[in-house]
Chains A and B, each alone.
Chain A
Amino acid sequence: MGVLKDFFNLLKGMTITGKHLGRRAVTIQYPEQKMQMFERSRGVVVLLSDKETGDLNCTMCMLCMRACPTAAIYIDAPRDENKKRVLKEFKVDHALCCYCGLCEEACNFSAIKLANKYEFSTWDIDDLVWDVNKLQDVGRDVPYVDTRKKKPAAKAAAKPAEKKADDKKSAADGAKPSAEENKQSEGDKPSEPKATDTAAADKTAPAKDEKAVDSSPDETPESDETRRSADDDTKKGDA
């Protein structure tokens, strides 16, 4: 009866292909349909603007320029007479960029991000060098989590804490373990105040909570910005 069994197996194979024949094709018809990339996908490099004022978040600290392994970022920001930096030029050469995301990682001010956009091919390779206006324009509708400390909002309440945070920061600046620790403890009990917090932190706890509400909407489990939330938490813990 081997023959019948073989025959049955052939039929089984045909049932499978027949089923697939009836299914919808998964092809995306590119120019008409576009793939919605995941938010964390690393596409074009953009500069982010403040959600309220619309100004660039960038403070011209040049960290991203130094972090970039391919020297794709060029920043020119000389100091004016008040010793304040004025942005003259901010260029990203997308032809050089390798989309590693190190610039995003280096930036402390939520100012640069690899957006989930992928349609930026051009006829001319020179057009891939984007200046600050283009970087800002493309970055306008890119969703991001603002991890900066907002001065006007939490200023009064968080003043002593901020001083403390600065102290602590100098101690534990490059010390990743503290960040790691905080991350772990966050995983255990996200809403409780940290046991390691000092009395000063206790005093400012309400302010901290307030801040947590307005500046970290990414507490949800499907948050894709794990690194950012860890940062966020570090700062919170410090505060």
Chain B
Amino acid sequence: MELYPVFMWLHDLLESTGIGEPWSTIISYGFLAVTVFGTLSILALFLVWWERKIAGHIQQRFGPMRTGWHGWYQTIMDAVKLLQKEDIRIATRDKAVFFWAPVVCFVAAYLAYVVIPFGENLIVADLNVGILYIIAVTTFTVISLLMAGWGSNNKYALLGGMRSAAQVVSYEVPMAVSILTVIVFAGSLSMVDIANAQQGNIIFNWFIFKPPFGIIAFLTYITAATAEANRTPFDIPEAEQELVAGYNVEYSGMKFAMFFLAEFVNLFTVSAIAVTLFFGGWHGPLLPSWIWFLLKTFAVILLLMLFRWTFPRLRVDQLMEFAWKFLVPLTFANLILAGWFKYAGWHW
């Protein structure tokens, strides 16, 4: 399991060169962190490009076309540009909060990848409370958005931060409950166990094919996840039409880029979780496991992108109403019935 063999190999290598015990561990863990971080940063850059392409083609435009073949390094160039930009710090900001908000957002976005299995044995650490851990750390995003809103000392940013807090807290409930339904199926909180429970029988062991609870859980999860990732139709915190850009309106340069990349890392996270929970994780025939995982994840991301470029945005009150009056009762009913079926031993 895990990236552990690589870690052990590196650890042994460092030991043989004669570095002391704490350092060899720290360096080899650092290596793992950098690997995961680098992969995800590239993925995030790719996703930005892909989203722009999809958006363009849905509107029968091309999207980026000028930088390289079909603009393939457009986002790399954008990142370079943002790095060079002046970091504008407004005078009325709350210094510490303003500084740490993007950092918290960025780190929180990447933290989830400790337990997400990219493929067979491609997982940093198979925690036995994996999915619970993910739900816990992704909530940090709310804090960072609220920090950004507060630290900016700007009414639009603050409104965006408040809205995002309200939204994410509301949608956390249906999301967690939908995930719980899957945990009822799998009987484990570990991401690896959940994926393994869907192995075999071509695709019909996937949890999404456990009617009717699987499909309902998936639909509620994907709705809540869209809201969690602050994407249209639930992009209330950003709401360009009303709030300029919402919580990140005062940020520029690399700090803005951190928010922006974190958003796309979050998009990948929710899709990766959806794949692990409902689509059998990395399991698939012939191709290597990580390719299957990426293929499935990109399919889910495509779905989320279609959402974004199809649906109009909800109003704040509609958003809350939808979460509390519709999603929460539905997910709870789903969970209770699924638990009952499981307990009674009917058809599983």
A residues near B (Cβ < 8 Å) are 3, 10, 13-14, 16-18, 20-21, 23-27, 29
Given contacts A21-B57, A21-B306, 19 further A-B contacts (CB under 8 A): A10-B310, A10-B311, A16-B310, A17-B58, A17-B306, A17-B309, A20-B57, A20-B58, A20-B59, A21-B54, A21-B58, A23-B60, A24-B60, A25-B56, A25-B57, A25-B61, A27-B61, A27-B62, A29-B65
- Interface on chain A toward B: helix, strand, loop, or mixed SS? helix
Smallest CB gap from B219: residue in A:
A7
Smallest CB gap from B312: residue in A:
A13
CA distance A62 to B168 in the complex (A): 74
A16, A17, A23: which has the most chain B beta carbons within 10 Å? A17
- Interface on chain B toward A: helix, strand, loop, or mixed SS? helix
Measured between C-beta atoms, what is the minimum distance from A13 to chain B in Å? 5
23 pairs of residues in contact across A and B, judged by CB atoms under 8 Å: A13-B311, A14-B306, A14-B307, A14-B310, A17-B58, A17-B306, A20-B57, A20-B59, A20-B60, A21-B54, A21-B57, A21-B58, A23-B57, A23-B60, A24-B60, A25-B57, A25-B61, A25-B62, A26-B60, A27-B61, A27-B62, A29-B62, A29-B65
Measured between C-beta atoms, what is the minimum distance from A44 to chain B in Å? 27
Q: How large is the interface on B (under 10, 10 to 19, 20 to 34, 35 or more residues)?
A: 10 to 19
Measured between C-beta atoms, what is the minimum distance from B326 to chain A in Å? 8
Inter-chain contacts of A25 with B (CB < 8 A): 56-57, 60-62
Of A3, A18, A26, A29, the contact of B306 (CB 8 Å cutoff): A18
Inter-chain contacts of B326 with A (CB < 8 A): 3
Q: Mark B312-338, 1 if CB is under 8 A from A, else 0.
A: 000000000000001000000000000
Measured between C-beta atoms, what is the minimum distance from B233 to chain A in Å? 10
Measured between C-beta atoms, what is the minimum distance from B249 to chain A in Å? 29
Inter-chain contacts of A27 with B (CB < 8 A): 60-62
CA distance A21 to B62 in the complex (A): 10
CA distance A26 to B60 in the complex (A): 6
Inter-chain contacts of B61 with A (CB < 8 A): 25-27
Inter-chain contacts of B58 with A (CB < 8 A): 17, 20-21
Inter-chain contacts of A26 with B (CB < 8 A): 60-61
Inter-chain contacts of B309 with A (CB < 8 A): 17
Measured between C-beta atoms, what is the minimum distance from A58 to chain B in Å? 43
CA distance A20 to B60 in the complex (A): 7
Structural contact, B310 and A13, CB atoms closer than 8 A: yes
Inter-chain contacts of A20 with B (CB < 8 A): 57-60
Inter-chain contacts of B307 with A (CB < 8 A): 14
Measured between C-beta atoms, what is the minimum distance from A130 to chain B in Å? 32
CA distance A10 to B233 in the complex (A): 12
- Top 5 nearest A-B pairs by Cβ distance? A17-B310, A13-B310, A25-B62, A26-B60, A17-B58
Inter-chain contacts of B306 with A (CB < 8 A): 14, 17-18, 21
CA distance A29 to B65 in the complex (A): 9
Q: Mark B31-62, 1 if CB is under 8 A from A, else 0.
A: 00000000000000000000000101111111
Measured between C-beta atoms, what is the minimum distance from B201 to chain A in Å? 27
Measured between C-beta atoms, what is the minimum distance from A122 to chain B in Å? 24
Smallest CB gap from B303: residue in A:
A14
Smallest CB gap from A10: residue in B:
B311
Smallest CB gap from A12: residue in B:
B310
CA distance A25 to B65 in the complex (A): 12
Smallest CB gap from B308: residue in A:
A17
Inter-chain contacts of B310 with A (CB < 8 A): 10, 13-14, 16-17
Smallest CB gap from B66: residue in A:
A29
Inter-chain contacts of A18 with B (CB < 8 A): 306
Inter-chain contacts of A17 with B (CB < 8 A): 58, 306, 309-310
Measured between C-beta atoms, what is the minimum distance from B225 to chain A in Å? 16
Measured between C-beta atoms, what is the minimum distance from B337 to chain A in Å? 17
